[in-house]
Amino acid sequence: MILYKTSMGERRKERKTREISIKIDELPKRRSWQFRTPKDKVKYIKTVESICRKSLEYKQLVAFLKRNTDLKRCTVLRNLTSDGGRHYTIEIHHEPFTLFDIVETVVNRREMEGETLSPLQVADEVMQLHYDGKVGLIHLSTTMHQLVHDDKIAIPLSYIYQRYDQFYDEYKPYINPVVEEKLQAKVEFTLHSDDIVSDIEPEFTYISVDGWKFPKIPDEWKDALSVDRAEKAVPTGELVEAIAN
């Protein structure tokens, strides 16, 4: 019952009230994520990937790594850095498991364990793995990053930053068999080679037009294209052997 009063505090009007009783037999259910086709699952995984990359946590992590580690220098072309002199864009690459592989593995675990597949909660678990140091990362310039994705460059596991082996140990039952095969191939490659292998060969083309001679490429430019092996990361053979076994 609501009482209306005048400014003088006197009772002015009483309004009638009534109550309505509602009985809820079934509470609304949370949305269930079911993948009818493999394409549906791929689309879902890419959605979670996008959530991770755009999250504040991911941006802060990348900024921290570039500020406090050597992740501001390209792993392949060691002369390319994001600071000092000429600036180059240095990007973070997930290795040996791509971000897609990591999200897929987390989704597989949640499916098998009967846990929710809410994109935000899956993304939260993926980011927690990043902050726990269980996601392997390397630093690459934009061009080298694309070449690695195109399988033009092979990078030994010893160059990878952070304990990716811990992720492997914890999530091994949920890893896609295809991803498992690729990992074992990388282990074999690392055991037989401790250096970056690339099928990229620089080629210089000289043009002669009606007798005109164009300037030739200085020798120091050619030398600058070589990779500085002296600054490569310290091999972590124990991680490779742990996965190989």
pLDDT tens string, the chain, 245 residues long: the values are 444 455 555 556 677 788 888 877 776 665 667 788 889 999 999 999 999 999 999 999 888 877 777 667 787 777 777 676 567 777 888 888 999 999 999 999 999 998 989 999 999 999 999 999 999 888 888 888 888 888 777 788 888 888 888 999 999 999 999 999 888 888 888 887 766 655 555 555 666 666 666 666 666 555 555 544 444 444 444 555 555 55
How many domains does the chain divide into?
Answer: 1
DSSP symbol at 173: G
Cα–Cα distance for residue pair 182/175, rounded to 1 Å: 11
Q: Is 228 a domain residue?
A: yes
Q: Is 146 a domain residue?
A: yes
Q: Is 158 a domain residue?
A: yes
Q: Which residues of 107-118 are buried (b: 16+ CB within 10 A; e: fewer)?
A: bbbbeeeeeebe
* Structural domain span for residue 168: 34-244
The pTM score is: 0.68
Cα–Cα distance for residue pair 102/97, rounded to 1 Å: 6
